[in-house]
Every structure is written in structure tokens, then in C-alpha cells.
Amino acid sequence: MKELLSKRTREYQERAREVAERAVRPVAAELDRTGEYPWSVIRALREAKLMGIWVPEEYGGQSAGVLDLCVVVEELSRACGGVGVAYAVNALGSFGIILGGTEEQKRRFLPGIASGEQLIAFGLSEKASGSDAGSLRTRAVLDGDHWVIDGDKKWNTNGNVASLYAVYCSTRPDRGSRGISALLVEKGTRGFEVGKREDLMGIRCVPVHELHFRGCRVPAENLIGGVEGRGFGLAMQTLDRARPGVAAQAVGLAQGALDWALRYTSERQQFGQSVLSFQATQFKVADLATEIEAARQLVLGAARFIDEGHAGASKYAAMCKVFATDVAMRVTTEAVQMFGGYGYCRDYPVEKYMRDAKITQIYEGANQIQRLVIGRALTKEATALTATHPVLVEHFPELETVAAPGGETKR
């Protein structure tokens, strides 16, 4: 299917695959065991000119699209899911600056991210507000020419290795989600502390930390976009652009697990023949390979949709995220099963794929939330269709009670 990709995208894919095979696969098991951050891989990605490719050229990047980001993440995740997210989270953190930052903020912060010299984290979730992102308790109050932040953040990927943090705070609690603003906090700022590291089941090489803010004073010019109250919308736009990256991580994990399962079942002999020669195994791998390819094409389609600026990106970002991550969990679980007892042992790599895959169904919007996003989008589309096609009501009278545009009940 690579023929469907542009020449530039194929070049990104090939460079990422080379880095994955040379710099990621040999250390993946050790990184998982120790939980060390993959600095050697980051250096390899910098040398391959793959860090920060999504940053616009005028700020030191390569103006690559979400599609390009996805092919790189898939290749890295095929070797190690933790490395895949360690790379992709820098896009998540910097998309807010790209989409809503002032010119001064872009020139100040994006070049370091583009070169890979600066890593960034995304601070939205809190203990009491995960899926309910609009109910943030972290507060920021303007005091002269500084914002003073008080509160705590949870689930911050890149937590202790980042040098810059995009932190979402409530600056007008009385306005709910419309009172949320985004601030850029630099590591070492007084009143800011990186807290407890989470002991994760999977993606163990990427640090996930709590962040604590106690009277943390941030310059007023670090308010993303320079305008209060735009943080929630910016966070949602950012997540729409980042979710295909999570889906690509899931595709890479699924493909990597299937690669190992095919290798193992082709070599494993039972009853005088390879396990892969059994029809039951062939049917199973046929179904898994088909699901992976379907997920891959949905991811690439959603990424193209976003890159081309079409409306309705939220629905397609949610669709590719929910489908690909569910596929990854099924494929990795089946791969463990095909290894038999060995699949349950850490001597073999396949169990790591299953552990890494699970988080993809949870972070950047749990799959239950993605289904809500899709369902609401479809409901809105159905309402609009009924309003613009009165002939439907003529043939289906039960549609008369569908709400018409403007909110009134149509009778």
C-alpha cells in the first residue's frame, strides 16, 4: 500500500523504519525492563532529521502533515510502543503553539522542538478531570505581568524529560470550559515541580509524571495566543490532530505483534508440521492482517482529512483512534495466544506488545469518549439530513419529531 503515499511520505517511512530496526529494536526489551528514557533513540531520530517534522518550515521544521507523523509513529511503534509515544507526544505538546500561539511564541519555542533539542509535555488531565476535561481545578490568576498557577496535573507523558510544558488552567472558573486558558511553563520555573512517576504496565520507557504548581509565576506573554478563554477549544483541536498518532501507534503495535506471531508459528513444529500450516492458524492470521490493514487505511484517511483542512475532523480522528486501538488489543492478545505458554513469558517479546497496546484504548480520550464523539457527530448529521430532505418525512412520518435546525421541534 506504500504506493498510495507521496514520495516524501515514503521517505519519512523508510527513514523511520531504518531507525526502528537499527536503534529501537535492539534495546526495546532493556528499555522496558529498566524504564530508562530512550535518549539513544532520540539522538538517532535527530540524526535522521525526523524530530519535529510537523513544525512549519519557518520555525525550523519541515511542514510535514499529520499523515507524515503517523507513518513515522507506526514504524517506531512496530519495534517499541513506548518509543512511538515518546516521539509522538512532542507533537501533542506543540500542536497548541502551532495552532494558536502568537508569532513571538512560535519563534521562541518551536525551533527547539523542531530540532529535537527541546522536548515538550501536554498538561491537561487532572485526578478529578480525565474525560471531563472542562472541569479543571488548576487555577491561574493574573498578577501584574505574571500568571500565578496553583494546582496539580496527572498523566503527563514526557514528565521529567521535557523542558517545556503546555499547561491548561482555569483563569475564569465562573465561565466553565470557556474560562480555560493555556500557559507555557518552562522547566525550572519557581513554584513548579515534577512529581511522582507512575509505575506503568506498558510503554515503560516513557516517563509519565504528576506536575505540581504552587504559586508558580509564569510571564504573561506565555499565555498561548495572548487571549484568555481559548484553552479548551485549543485543547480539543490539538487532540483531534494528535489522535491519529495514537491510532498509528496502535497499528504499529498490532503489525509488530503479528510479525512475531507469523515468525513463531512458521518455525514452531507440532504434529510434524508448522503451526502456521494449520488451517485454523491461517484463518486467524488472515483475519488479523485484514483488520490491521483496515485500521491502517482508516488512520491514513483521517490524517489526510485533517491535513486537507476538511470540517468534521473530530469524527474521523475519533473513528481511527477507536478502531485502530481496539484492533491492536485484539491482535496483540491473539499473538500471545499463538505463542502458547511462551507468550506469557518475558523471554519472548510478544507480551510487551499486549501491555503496550492497552494504554492506546485509554489515553488521549478513552474509547468510550470516542464513541460519544462519533455518535454525536452522526446525530447532528442525521438531523441536518432530515431538515434538508423533507421527502424523508413524507415516506417516514416517524421522523417528524426530529429536531430541526435552531432547536425547535419539527412537526
Query: How far is the C-alpha of 254 from the C-alpha of 360, rounded, in Å?
Result: 11
- By the 8 A CB rule, do 172 and 228 touch? yes
- Number of Cβ within 10 Å of residue 347's Cβ equals 8
- In the 8-state DSSP scheme, what is residue 410? P
Q: Hey, what's the cell of 97?
A: 503553539
Residue labelled with grid coordinates 511553563: 185
Whether 364 is catalytic? yes
The three-state secondary structure class of 366 is: coil
Q: Hey, what's the cell of 113?
A: 522542538
Query: Which one of the listed residues 364, 398, 400, 408 is annotated catalytic?
Result: 364
Q: Could you tell me which of 305, 317, 304 has the C-alpha nearest to residue 369?
A: 317
Instruction: Give the total residue count for the chain.
Output: 411
The residues, any chain, with a CB within 8 Å of residue 308's CB and separated by 6 or more, are: none
* 273-280 contacts, C-beta under 8 A, 24 or more apart: 275/338
Query: How far is the C-alpha of 361 from the C-alpha of 22, rounded, in Å?
Result: 28
Helix (H) or strand (E) holding 185: strand 180-186
Beta strands in 49-172 (DSSP E): 120-123, 139-143, 146-157, 164-170
CA 345 to chain centroid, in Å, comes to 28
Catalytically annotated residues: 364
